[in-house]
Amino acid sequence: MRLVAIAGSIGEQSYNRMLVRFIARHYKDEVEIEVLDIDDIPVFTQDEDLSDSVAVQKLYQKVFSSDGVILATPEHNHTVPAAMKNVIEWLSFKLHPFEVKPVWIVGASYHRQGSSRAQLHLKQIMESPGVNAYVMPSNEFLLSDAKHAFDDEGNLKDAGTVKFLDSIFEKFLHYVKVIDLLDTPDPKNYLDEDLESNHKVNTTIDGVDMKAEDWVERAAEKVHAVDGRTYVKLDRGILTVNQLNYFLNSMPMELTYADDNNQFIYYNHYLPANKMLAPRQPGQAGDPLSNVHPGRAVNHVKQVIHALRNGTDLVSMPVPGNGPDKHIMHYYKAMRDENGRYRGVNEWVLDIMPIIKYYLAVTGQKLVDDPTAKRIPPVTGLDVTSGASEAPKAPQTDADTGASEEETPAPQAEVKPDIPATDADTGASEG
């Protein structure tokens, strides 16, 4: 889970900024919380639309891609300060990252009321049309007498206050999970799967034509995406964008990523289309899945995605035309986040015959037909009891896109391996 926090003050000394920084440090072992800076956000005016400016877009993308938002508001003249209102104006004018986003409002003030009136006002603003946030009800955290609440290291001094904060923070984490599941696309059967990608998810890039040939370049410009030598923090590692590309392009298989909105957003582009097992074209990146599959394959695609979305972990199928020298497989793996929500499909395409040949060579075995064997269905992983799959036949792969049509592959013939002998100690080849 990844949260962002915004303190509604641009003053050098801000107790609300101290509060969100304490929250980020105190709960760093439970969740990642990034405190966002709003100092460079321009003053809002409809006469000069700066929605695409670097400062506004950076803030928008951070909020939009987060799982939840913490807002810490001071109280100025019984209401929210201008800096906080300014941020909300920009993020509800042309951009709407707060829509159906779980929000927790906290606040600190010099006096005894702990920004209570400002918090109430901010809640009304955040739930208004055009903003449409899901503000966590009740569970207020009102830090009064803020100038005496922190020690020299910026930590809250009172143990009782921290304990109370702990209890509310735990509730907010549960609230984020509940709201996340409420926003999940939920087609009732596979025919309702939307391959036109009309249902926005929290990684959708607005304002760029999905079907544009240069979608990658235009989308990257829209969100000011990093590239080259810029570092990216992953779960257990830090890589530059270049290193990520090297890593993914060196995979011994063709990889495709379609998100939970059924938008085709990535493939590892290390071979030209005419040399791929399941050909892809650079201009297809960004397309809805309806655009990268022929009409005859649409129902098969919907069946696979619906099965993955509803609990199936993996669907696998061979392509037609396999024989003694190749056995190309398509694997469709469900990707889920830490809350168990479906986040898209990882498809990989692989010719497994070189692996089989290697195994046969090193073990001295061979493949022969077994007339008594009970053959498994060519398509595995689909839940036929739920209607996710209606046909046990193996889908035929479309030569241009990897999409499917029905056809059952022929039985495998005996394979005679022809690979070089390998030195057992070093892996070096002898011949």
Determine contact, residues 405/296, Cβ cutoff 8 Å.
yes
Residue 383 has a pLDDT of 56
Average pLDDT over residues 47-60: 91
Residue 114 has a pLDDT of 64
- Residues of the chain with pLDDT > 90, as a percent, come to 55
Query: Taking all residues of the chain, what is their mean pLDDT, rounded to a whole number?
Result: 85
Average pLDDT over residues 222-250: 91
pLDDT score of 409 more than 80: no
Q: How many CB atoms lie within 10 A of CB 384?
A: 14
So where are the chain's domains? 2-182, 190-365+396-406
pLDDT score of 19 more than 80: yes
Sequential DSSP letters for 336-350 = E-TT--EEEEEEEEE
Residue 424 has a pLDDT of 39
Residue 250 has a pLDDT of 95
Q: Helices 82-90 & 116-126, crossing angle to 10 degrees? A: 10
Residue 397 has a pLDDT of 43
Look up the CATH number of domain 190-365+396-406. Answer: 3.30.450.20
Residue 79 has a pLDDT of 86
Residue 339 has a pLDDT of 78
Segments in 133-283 forming alpha helices (H): 159-182, 215-223, 241-249
Residue 390 has a pLDDT of 37
Q: What is the identity of the amino acid at 315?
A: V
Q: How many residues are listed for the chain in this entry?
A: 431
- Residue scoring higher pLDDT (386 or 16): 16
Which range among 170-179, 197-206, 255-264, 281-290 shows the weakest confidence by mean pLDDT? 197-206
CA 365 to mean position of chain CA atoms: 44
CA 236 to mean position of chain CA atoms: 17
Report the first-to-last Cα separation within the chain, whole angstroms.
Answer: 52
Write the pLDDT tens digit of every residue in 196-224: 998 888 788 888 999 999 999 999 988 88
Q: How confident is the model at residue 425 (pLDDT cuts 50, 70, 90)?
A: very low
Strands 102-108 and 141-143: parallel
Closest alpha carbon to 34 in 6, 4, 69, 8: 4
CA 199 to mean position of chain CA atoms: 14
CA distance 342 to 181: 10
Residue 138 has a pLDDT of 83
- Residue scoring higher pLDDT (152 or 339): 152
CA distance 188 to 97: 27
As its CATH architecture, domain 2-182 has: 3-Layer(aba) Sandwich (3.40)
Write the pLDDT tens digit of every residue in 162-185: 999 999 999 999 999 888 877 777
CA distance 267 to 248: 9
